Amino acid sequence: DAGVIQSPRHEVTEMGQEVTLRCKPISGHDYLFWYRQTMMRGLELLIYFNNNVPIDDSGMPEDRFSAKMPNASFSTLKIQPSEPRDSAVYFCASSLGGGNTIYFGEGSWLTVV
Amino acid sequence: GIQVEQSPPDLILQEGANSTLRCNFSDSVNNLQWFHQNPWGQLINLFYIPSGTKQNGRLSATTVATERYSLLYISSSQTTDSGVYFCGGPGGGADGLTFGKGTHLIIQP
């Protein structure tokens, strides 16, 4: 079975541009998580969904970040406008049930210049 | 969410050596998971282990929930074991994970 699929794998963009990261969770999983990894802050949970509904977005750093999950097989994380401090690896992950084994995608490596 | 502390932060070993990585958490947990991040950045789930002991090949993990810690054992280390090992406990909402800062393991040939 395919794992969690993320795109793009790498993106370099200029400050002020809009960035959209995409995620397809493992089929049948009902939880989807967005994490961000930086050297300074480590792995941080940004937001997670259950059955396509956002449950906790307290980790979203500011209003420039937004996330949607229009259906069970697709989610987006959008940054508008992007800033150099947003440079990080953004991971999407999914699980079957809450509090169960979490599976990560390969990450989207974002560089904002 | 809980606080998660991992030790040691860095570990350098020769191939064939054994190692023990520790994860302390600030409160009781019903969800404790270990991950390996390889040098290419992939995060691989090793164990879901809220309590007890599990083994998978050369790796095993033990969580003592009453004493708020978990251990990851790696036996007969191979160079492919290099990377960063993270443990995660409940936090960031009821179902998300809060991660420690990781143990950076280097296995030298």
Q: CB under 8 Å to B81, separation ≥6 — which residues? A: B36, B74, B105, B107
Of B35, B88, B93, the CB nearest to A56: B93
Tens-place pLDDT, residues B3-27? 899 999 999 999 999 999 999 999 8
Please tell me the distance from the alpha carbon of residue B49 to that of residue A34, in angstroms, as a whole number.
22
Chain mean pLDDT for chain A: 95
User: Chain A residue closest to B30 (CA)?
Assistant: A99
Q: Are A98 and A7 in contact (CB under 8 A)?
A: no
Are B98 and A45 in contact (CB < 8 Å)? yes
Please tell me the distance from the alpha carbon of residue A30 to that of residue A89, in angstroms, as a whole number.
23
Helix, strand and coil content of chain B, in percent to the nearest 5, comes to: 5, 55, 40
Tell me, what's the pLDDT at A14? 97
Please tell me the distance from the alpha carbon of residue A75 to that of residue A61, in angstroms, as a whole number.
18
Please tell me the distance from the alpha carbon of residue B104 to that of residue A50, in angstroms, as a whole number.
32
Tell me, what's the pLDDT at B95? 74
User: Chain A residue closest to B93 (CA)?
Assistant: A56
Residue B36 has pLDDT above 60, yes or no: yes
Tell me, what's the pLDDT at B104? 97
Tell me, what's the pLDDT at B27? 85
Query: A106 CB near a chain B CB, below 8 Å?
Result: yes
pLDDT interval class at B76 (50, 70, 90): very high
Q: What is the mean pLDDT of residues B48-73?
A: 95
Residue B92 has pLDDT above 60, yes or no: no
B29-32 long-range contacts, CB within 8 A, separation 24+: B29/B2, B29/B63, B29/B65, B29/B68, B29/B89, B29/B90, B30/A99, B30/B90, B31/A99, B31/A100, B31/B89, B31/B90, B31/B97, B32/B63, B32/B65, B32/B70, B32/B87, B32/B88, B32/B89
Interface test with B, best of A9, A29, A43 (most B CBs within 10 A): A43
A72: helix, strand or coil: coil
Name residues 34-73 of chain A within 8 A of B (Cβ): 42-43, 45, 48, 50, 55-56, 58-59
Please tell me the distance from the alpha carbon of residue B3 to that of residue B26, in angstroms, as a whole number.
5
Are B97 and A45 in contact (CB < 8 Å)? yes
Tell me, what's the pLDDT at B94? 62
| Angstroms from A7 CA to nearest CA on chain B | 14
Tens-place pLDDT, residues A22-61? 999 999 999 999 999 999 999 999 999 999 999 999 999 8
pLDDT interval class at B31 (50, 70, 90): confident
